[in-house]
Amino acid sequence: MVNQRLFLWAILGVILWLGYQAWMADYYPPVTTTPAATARNAADGDAAAPPGARFDETIPGLPQQPENAATQEAQSASPGQLPLPESDSQPEVHVVTDVLDLDIGLMGGTFRRADLPLYPKEKNQPDIPVRLFHAAGTHPFVLQSGLTGQGENQPDHLARYESEAREYRLRSNQDELKVPLTWRNEQGLVVTKTYTFRRGSYAIDLTYELRNEGTEEWRGASYVQFLRHYEPVKRSMWNVETYAFKGPAIYDGERYSKLDIDDEEDINLSQSVTDGWLAAMQHHFVAAAVPHAGQPYQYTLRANEGGDFLLSAVGPVRTVAPGGREEFSEVLYAGPKLQDQLNATGPELARTADYGKLHFISQPLFKLLALIHKLVGNWGWTIILVTFLIKLAFYPLSETSGRSMAKMRLLAPRIKNIQERYKDNREQLGRAMMEIYKREKINPLAGCLPMLVQIPVFLAFYWVLLESVELRQAPFMLWLNDLSSKDPFFILPLLMGGAMFAQFKLNPAPPDPMQAKIFMFMPIVMTVMFAFFPSGLVLYWLTNTLLSIAQQWNINRRIGAAKTT
């Protein structure tokens, strides 16, 4: 009994400590310095670029190769703090498909704006889409790409391209749309940079065709990079979306890593990666670049004091002789974290639907959800059915626990007599209680075991509901029109709290009065916590509690009937 009491106190202590930590993080955030500042300055000092150059003008240098290291020249501009120019200061090409609405700048072919028409920013404002890229203002987010080489006037993201048209639209009879941009210089280099869009897809093929019509060989490499203003997200226990990661991430062919621009090691990232990808992530949406498979790309991350980060990947150096021709290619992604499309775009790219450390549980749960959703067509009923299947999977464990709880309920009068008899001798009371538990083959902690086993599943389900864009703004029924956000009227959390209290009353009262108070107080604590959780998660826990009540009632009925015969 003493161990049981300590166990319950430990659970309550953990809950209170987590609440205290969240409260302190919300209202008394620590004042910290940015250790990356020194690293940023050091990185900036290594660049051989004119003073005052802007961060958005940073052009990656060619990767160093041992046999040619002496001939390489760094061409990176020194990062500064000036913002990007406004979108109306340079010509753009407007591209519209069935899922994307983009502006591509003729300076470099940079993605300067990307709207997602199928994803409203707010549920009640369907005409205002989510905007992924945005060059205007002081908080830029753009995708830059190009070819970097030695010397001046290269086809990088600062070069001026030409386009045959200023607008391209995917027609109803088309499944593919190509947007070609051309560039040439006085030395005889001709580059055709082509973006290929496909119906229903957020993946975009990027290809370069370089022709050397000059008299000297050309040496260079392709690159792609994300420039984004980093805004630290202030986490709040009242807004679960703030726990979603927002920032740079990479996959190095073996391991997926989220990068922190205030971490000295991350800010000095310089790594050769084959069969990987780089991404700028945010809640439910992602921009990613997947370099050509089988080729080593040099990944780097840099940041400036203005809060902008630059995540780049530079491909291997190639040489194009006079009269020669070469092709370069990467695959880009700009859109929602649709896992089927992400997996088809790059290896492990679906990891950007960031389920945390429990992804090995969350991924099968999501696949089960997606499978059942295809059958029922409603995410709310899908959650209920999956909860039923999870409950079915844990049924043997719950049955054993339930039988023990039912026996304790039948023994309640005898236990109360023992408590009265030894109320002045706690040591004797403990021995008597353990004897009756042993004689009746009852484990007093059996009721806690199923809950402990379900905690990882619960947390995995939490991240699935929080991070899966498929459930974003998904309606259920009646007042629940968005399962990924909290219940606007707090009806579901109150129902859940009532169900937990009914479950408490159905189970035998704990022998210790303090334990009984803790159990009685638990539904109130859980109701307050769940009031701000996604309503889909509350629906899961409510369904799970109702199924537990039904199961325990049935067990109590069967054991009670067996006792009377």
Tell which wins on pLDDT, 114 or 236.
Answer: 114
Element (H, E) at 256: strand 256-258
- Regarding predicted confidence, which is higher, 494 or 556? 494
Per-residue pLDDT, averaged over 513-536, amounts to 76
Comparing CA positions, the residue from 329, 74, 76 lying closest to residue 193 is 329
Rounded Cα–Cα distance for residues 69 and 285 (Å): 39
Check pLDDT > 90 for residue 342: yes
Per-residue model confidence (pLDDT) at position 205: 96
> Do 15 and 102 belong together in one domain?
no
pLDDT of 68 strictly over 80:
no
Please tell me what DSSP assigns to residue 299: E
Confidence of residue 83 (pLDDT cuts 50, 70, 90): very low
Give me the percent of the chain exceeding a pLDDT of 90. 35
pLDDT band at 56 (very low <50, low <70, confident <90, very high): low
pLDDT surpasses 60 at 62: yes
Structure tokens given for 486: 């909290």
Query: What's the alpha-carbon Rg for the chain, to the nearest Å?
Result: 30
**Whole-angstrom distance, CA of residue 159 vs CA of residue 147:** 10
More confident residue, 55 or 127: 127
Other CB atoms within 10 A of residue 320 CB: 18
Instruction: Give the pLDDT score at 180.
Output: 96
Task: Say if residue 394 is in the same domain as residue 254.
Answer: no
- Tokens 């009068």, located at residue: 413
**Structure tokens given for 104:** 């591509």
Read off the pLDDT of residues 4-24 as tens digits, 9 standing for 90 and up.
444 445 555 555 555 555 444
Residue 146 predicted with pLDDT over 50: yes
Whether 104 contacts 112, CB under 8 Å: yes
DSSP count for the chain of H helices, then E strands: 13, 19
Say what the pLDDT of residue 43 is.
36
Tokens read off for 66: 């041992």
What pLDDT, on a 0 to 100 scale, did the predictor assign at position 324? 93
Distances (CA, A) of 218 to 210, 317, 426, 534: 10, 10, 89, 55
Using one digit for the tens of pLDDT, what is the confidence trace for 279-333? 999 889 999 999 999 999 999 999 887 778 999 999 999 999 999 999 999 999 9
What pLDDT is stored for residue 298 in this prediction?
94
Residue 411 in this model has a pLDDT that exceeds 90: no
- Residue 360 is predicted with a pLDDT of 87
Last residue in a domain, options 301, 332, 354: 354
Higher pLDDT, residue 51 or 58: 58
State whether 133 and 172 are in the same domain: yes
**337 or 53: which carries more pLDDT confidence?**
337
pLDDT of residue 444: 59
- Counting residues of the chain whose pLDDT is more than 70, the rounded percentage is 70
Span 241-272, pLDDT tens digits: 777 788 899 999 889 999 988 888 888 889 99
Tell me, yes or no, whether 474 and 560 share the same domain: yes
**What mean pLDDT is reported for the chain?**
78
pLDDT, greater one: 465 or 565: 465
Q: How far apart are CA 565 and CA 560, in angstroms?
A: 9
Predicted confidence at residue 136, as pLDDT, reads 78
Among residues 354, 379, 402, the one where a domain terminates is 354
Question: What pLDDT is stored for residue 404 in this prediction?
Answer: 64
Return the pLDDT at 74: 33
Asked if residue 121 and residue 17 are part of one domain, the reply reads no
Number of domains the chain is built from: 2
| Range with top average pLDDT, 59-63, 368-372, 505-509, 511-515 | 368-372
412 with 270, same domain: the answer is no
Identify the band that residue 76 occupies on the pLDDT scale cut at 50, 70 and 90.
very low
Instruction: Report whether pLDDT(52) > 80.
Output: no
- Shared domain for 214 and 325, answered yes or no, is yes
**Which of 129, 108, 132 has the alpha carbon at shortest distance from 120?**
129
Phi, psi of 134 (to 5 degrees): -160, 115
pLDDT attached to residue 133 = 92
Q: What is the mean pLDDT of residues 465-476?
A: 85
Whether residue 129 sits in one domain with residue 247: yes
Same domain? For 13 and 56 the reply is: no
Cβ pair 333, 287 in contact under 8 A:
yes
Domain boundary among 336, 354, 372: 354
pLDDT digits (tens, 9 = 90+) for 419-454: 667 666 677 766 777 776 777 666 655 556 666 777
pLDDT of residue 238: 62
Q: Same structural domain for residues 316 and 406?
A: no
The distance of Cα 398 from the centroid of its chain, to the nearest Å, equals: 32
Q: Nearest 10 degrees: CA dihedral of 384, 387, 388, 390?
A: 160
pTM of the model: 0.77
pLDDT digits (tens, 9 = 90+) for 358-398: 888 888 999 999 999 999 989 999 999 998 888 888 777 66
Domain at 184, CATH number: 2.70.98.90
User: Which residues neighbour 471 within 8 Å (Cβ) at sequence distance 6 or greater?
Assistant: 379, 464, 465, 483, 484, 536
Between 228 and 550, whose confidence is greater? 228
Task: Domain of residue 175: give its range.
Answer: 32-354
pLDDT of residue 336: 95
Q: Does residue 108 register a pLDDT over 80?
A: yes
Q: What are the two backbone dihedrals, phi and then psi, of residue 248, each rounded to the nearest 5 degrees?
A: -80, 150
Q: Are 429 and 419 in contact (CB under 8 A)?
A: yes
Q: Same domain, yes or no, for 178 and 320? A: yes
Same domain, 331 and 410: no
Q: Given this model, what pLDDT does residue 201 score? A: 96
Higher pLDDT, 209 or 547: 209
Please report the pLDDT score of residue 160 as a whole number. 93
Residue type, 147: L
Q: How much is the pLDDT for 6?
A: 46
Q: Kindly give the pairing relationship between strand 167-169 and strand 92-96.
A: parallel
Compute the average pLDDT of residues 217-238: 83
